[in-house]
């Protein structure tokens, strides 16, 4: 019985050490990778293609996350058939959400904040969103899911990897 308790304690200890890396360690080697999806839109500059919604998207990092500070990126959407990465941008019919997921560890991170971008007068900018509160809780491979949702139901999504 005593040996079993020692083994169980050791297993729990090792599991906790593996999950306690992020805020305390340096993330100097973090590198975002937007992997093009395999489809006919990639040739047209549509690396992030929403097949059900006929939209394309691009991600531009404003501030990459560090151990001490959260990250932020700008997300732009355009019509896959008519627009380009330079515009014109279109606002998706569904709500935009971001999910951060670490597949090797089977967990996510704190919720992000998606805000419709505004111009100097405070008017919304069509199809442009500021994504804030991006925090990766530990080093490793992360998946960033860009989701289009109706309520809690995901109707379309794309994903790109971020190595942190």
The pLDDT of residue 68: 84
User: For a pLDDT cut of 90, what percent of the chain falls above it?
Assistant: 60
What CA–CA distance (Å, rounded) separates 24 from 93? 40
C-beta of residue 73 within 8 angstroms of C-beta of residue 62: yes
- Domains of the chain: total: 1
Q: Which tokens hold the place of 144?
A: 């960033």
| pTM metric for this prediction | 0.73
Q: In 3D, which of 154, 109, 155, 107 has the Cα closest to residue 132?
A: 109
The pLDDT of residue 137: 86
CATH number at residue 115: 2.60.40
Q: In 3D, which of 158, 98, 106, 109 has the Cα closest to residue 137?
A: 109
The pLDDT of residue 155: 97
CA atoms within 13 A on the CB side of 162: 27
Radius of gyration of the chain measured on its C-alpha atoms = 19
Tens-digit pLDDT profile for residues 111-148: 999 999 999 999 999 999 999 999 988 889 999 999 99
The pLDDT of residue 104: 84
Q: Which residues in the chain come in under a pLDDT of 70? A: 1-44
Q: In what order do the strands lie in the sheet with 107-108?
A: 31-32, 153-163, 141-150, 95-102, 107-108
What is the residue range of 114's domain?
Answer: 2-163
Tell me the sheet residues that pair with 149: 95, 154
The pLDDT of residue 2: 52
C-beta of residue 85 within 8 angstroms of C-beta of residue 45: yes
Q: State phi, psi for 61 to the nearest 5 degrees.
A: -70, 125
What CA–CA distance (Å, rounded) separates 157 from 85? 18
What CA–CA distance (Å, rounded) separates 136 from 6? 32
């Amino acid at each position: 019985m005593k040996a079993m308790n020692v083994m169980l304690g050791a297993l729990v200890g090792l599991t906790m050490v593996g999950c306690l890396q992020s805020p305390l360690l340096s993330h100097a080697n973090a590198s975002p990778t937007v992997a093009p999806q395999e489809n006919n839109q990639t040739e047209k500059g549509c690396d992030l293609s929403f097949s059900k919604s006929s939209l394309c998207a691009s991600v531009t990092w404003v501030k990459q996350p560090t151990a001490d500070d959260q990250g932020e990126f700008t997300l732009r959407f355009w019509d896959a058939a008519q627009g380009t990465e330079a515009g014109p941008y279109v606002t998706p019919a569904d709500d935009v959400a971001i999910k951060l997921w670490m597949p090797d560890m089977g967990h996510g991170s704190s919720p992000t904040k998606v805000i419709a971008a505004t111009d100097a007068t405070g008017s919304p900018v069509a199809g442009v969103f500021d994504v804030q509160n991006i925090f990766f809780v530990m080093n490793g491979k992360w998946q960033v899911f860009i989701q289009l949702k109706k309520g809690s139901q995901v109707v379309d999504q794309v994903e790109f990897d971020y190595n942190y």
